Structure 1
Amino acid sequence: MDDASIQHLTEATREKLRQTVSKIERLEEEKKEVAEQIKEIYAEAKAFGFDTKALRQVVKLRKQDRAEREEAEMVLETYLIALGEA
């Protein structure tokens, strides 16, 4: 954007831009806080003796549709068999 383009922005447009940026910044901060909370929960789980790598995998798998997950597992199993790993 050049200076002429910026000057054509109305005050309402500038305010909307400021609000949008503010919302994004607030949400980024909330995302950081949630990430810290998740990290703490994994630390608690580890203290209880849970395998955090396995927990992360379980969380990832539960996000997937069952059919999608089963298909991915079937492909993985096929590849392992082909490589002589299964």
Structure 2
Amino acid sequence: MTDERSEGMGGGRVAADELRLLIERAERLEEEKKGISDDIKDVMAEAKARGYDAKAIKKIMAIRKKKKEEYQEEEAILETYMHALGML
């Protein structure tokens, strides 16, 4: 006898409709993520066309995501290493 449920990998039961909805939701989010990624690429292309360095902008964005203390610590370590290698 079969119903909407089928055996899951762990021996538990999985509702097919629920699983399908979760997968479809994840697929929609992946599509949105791709769209946002394309939008970011467009912004970077616009910045480059206006004479800005896209790599520098991306670096600034990464720095802005970090806590100030975390960034300062990373910069201090980087500077120490660069001094040790005679790069500064």
**What's the TM-score once normalised by structure 1's chain length?**
0.86
Superposed, which structure 2 residues align to 1:19-30 within 5 Å?
19-30=21-32
Between the two proteins, the alignment pairs up a number of residues equal to 80
Q: Which aligned segments of 4 or more residues in structure 1 are displaced greater than 3 angstroms?
A: none
**What's the TM-score once normalised by structure 2's chain length?**
0.84
> Which runs of 5 or more residues in structure 1 are unaligned?
none
**Greater strand proportion:** 2
Cα distance in 1, alignment partners of residues 13 and 70 from structure 2: 47
- Alignment correspondent of 2:13: 9
Cα distance in 1, alignment partners of residues 16 and 77 from structure 2: 51
Over the aligned positions, Cα root-mean-square deviation in angstroms equals 1.6
Superposed, which structure 2 residues align to 1:69-84 within 5 Å?
69-84=71-86
Deviation of 1:30 (Å) = 0.3
Cα distance in 2, alignment partners of residues 14 and 77 from structure 1: 56
**Greater helix proportion:** 1
> Which runs of 5 or more residues in structure 2 are unaligned?
1-5
Deviation of 1:9 (Å) = 3.5
Q: Percent identity?
A: 41
